[in-house]
Chains A and B, each alone.
Chain A
Amino acid sequence: MEEAIVLVKDLRKKFRTHKREAGLLASIKSLFIRKYVNIEALKGISFQIKKGEIIGFIGPNGAGKSTAIKVLSGLLFPDSGTVSCLGFNPWNERERYLSNVGVVFGQKTQLSWDIPPLDTYYFLKDVYEIPDADFKKRLNYMIKILEIKEIVKTPTRNLSLGERMRCELIAALLHNPTLVFLDEPTVGVDIIAKEAIREFILKLNKEQGTTFIITTHDMGDIEKLCKRIMIINHGEIVYDGSLQDLKQSYVKTKFIDIKFSEPQEFRFGNYDGKIISKTKIEMKIEVRAKYVNKIISWVLKNYKVADITVMNPPIEKIITQIYKK
């Protein structure tokens, strides 16, 4: 359980693209003069991942998350740095490495477009040389928890986004890979399907010890799945640790919900705080975390209170603070 199966050291990746203004004149100009710009998508990131971890890659748009996943899954070549996954170099030992890896890019499909996903699954069975019994068992199991018994028999091009996404997951996981990359696996998926996908990932992780690296913009995914998160911003890892620690070190304020037993006119006494919302009978305030206890006892002493709850700010708020740095 304890050995690192992914070792990344000082990974860098630059993209060279050319920019031009809109318009006909600009297009003609760009035939002759091209301004190339280098985009440093990854500026030397390093990390290690142990077997059985579920890692959440989060960060704002364009941060470099997908780039990192593409490099690790062997799609892109890095400019420098070393990568070792499952003991392989993803580029030089491609076939042997990929036999143990599963990949989902939520934005693109890996299912054959004109035929039902089920036909792709039978193809993958032979590609990954999955024994008959294992194949049947896994397929039935996955179809059952993702609830797509009929869907897998429909041609891919006729599937809705959320239906397709569940089918994509099966395609990536049929061969029981040790290491799985999921790039936005819940994008465009409804709440029920999201729950199913999350349950499914957790189950595989628990039962098979599958290691997952997931990028997402959905904090629900993160809170449900990932013990450890890496926040990437501008091509750098700005936080690598547990979600719990992140909350503790970044949570400077807490929210307090108060219900009064009779209408009251509330005023902060000597304490600092912000009123978020307020009616005669109910209110929500934001206060410095340090003073929560004192404020509560002060409120209880001075007002007639029916109910009082303390809450952390939503994780989105914490993350936004970090993104803005």
Chain B
Amino acid sequence: MRYIAAIKLGLKEILAYRFEVSFWGIIALMHLAVWYFVWSAVFGYAGTTVIRGFTFQQMMGYYIASIAVDHFTFTDVDQDITESVRTGTLFKDIIRPFNIFLTYISQNVGYKILVAITQGIPLALIAIFVVGIKTTPIHFVLFMVSLALAFLLKFSFAYLFGMAAFWLTKTGGLFRIKNGVQKFLAGAVMPLSLFPAGAQAVFAFLPFQYMTFVSVQILLQKYTIAESIIKILIQILWIVIFYAIVSYVWQKARKRFEVVGT
């Protein structure tokens, strides 16, 4: 199967960087440490044990889960596309008999296998034994589904941005803005439930919270099973929407390959 092959290729490619990848695990732990100190200070300063319904322990539970989700759904396919457009090596994907979008997803899934080992395992161990996150088997299964969907959603969004390289000469700044805004609105910086109700109502209509926040909430049992399933369906809806836009833009981008990439 050609897409399984792409997964294997992705894994082989990322293994060429195994040294760098092992650092990602350390970076994830450093993120967690930073948030530990920030919130210790906030709780200490406020002198309360509960802030907006979060105990300190629950807050750490949120961060460890959101860091795990954020790292696991990470993709730099936007930069990959920019680079292969810029260097013209995109030609190799165009002359091969496969769907390029699906191939890139599969390759990214290959990367995830290594990420799951280097970051997933340490984070999971800390989550269970240090922070003491508890969940039910059914919530865990729903979480895994929504995690996979969060990845697909983030990927489609990044892919869409990556195609900007067909029109713009420099995309670095654009991607940085995208990543910052996305991280914030996805709830990877702060739990979205800390925001005022009005803001949360707006977030509900944006795709971002389905990239991190929703998956975390499912894991932490903030939603009932029925609510979780509805959130998952909305994730799927967003993926379908983005995939449709990606396909449409790709048709246009493809014709611009001669301008930028040959």
Contacts and interface: CB of A to CB of B under 8 A. Distances in A.
Interface string A52-74: 00000000000000000010011
Contacts of A112: 9, 12-13
B1 A126 contact: yes
B4 A127 contact: no
Interface in A115-167: 115, 119-120, 122-129, 155
A96 B98 CA distance: 9
Interface string B236-262: 000000000000000000010111001
B258 A110 contact: no
A112 B5 CA distance: 13
A238 interface: no
B8 interface: yes
A105 B261 CA distance: 13
B2 interface: yes
Contacts of A114: 13, 16-17
B257 A94 contact: no
B12 A94 contact: no
Contacts of B91: 75, 105, 108, 110
A114 B12 CA distance: 9
Contact of A123 (B8, B87, B97, B259): B8
A42 interface: no
A106 B202 CA distance: 52
A89 interface: no
Interface size class on chain A is 20 to 34
Contacts of A127: 2, 5, 96-98
B97 A98 contact: yes
Interface in B1-40: 1-2, 4-6, 8-9, 12-13, 16-17
Most buried by A among B17, B91, B95, B257: B95
B262 to A, nearest CB: 6
A115 B95 contact: no
Interface in B91-114: 91-92, 94-99
B98 A95 contact: yes
29 contacts: A70-B258, A73-B95, A74-B94, A75-B95, A75-B262, A76-B257, A76-B258, A77-B255, A95-B97, A95-B98, A98-B95, A99-B97, A108-B87, A108-B89, A110-B91, A110-B92, A112-B12, A114-B16, A115-B9, A115-B13, A115-B16, A119-B12, A123-B5, A124-B96, A125-B5, A126-B2, A126-B4, A126-B8, A128-B97
Interface of B: 1-2, 4-6, 8-9, 12-13, 16-17, 87-89, 91-92, 94-99, 255, 257-259, 262
Given A70-B258, A75-B262, 7 more contacts: A74-B94, A75-B91, A98-B97, A99-B97, A109-B92, A112-B13, A155-B16
Interface of A: 15-16, 70, 73-77, 94-99, 101, 103, 105, 108-110, 112, 114-115, 119-120, 122-129, 155
> What 4 A-B pairs are tightest by C-beta distance, nearest first?
A126-B5, A110-B92, A98-B97, A95-B97
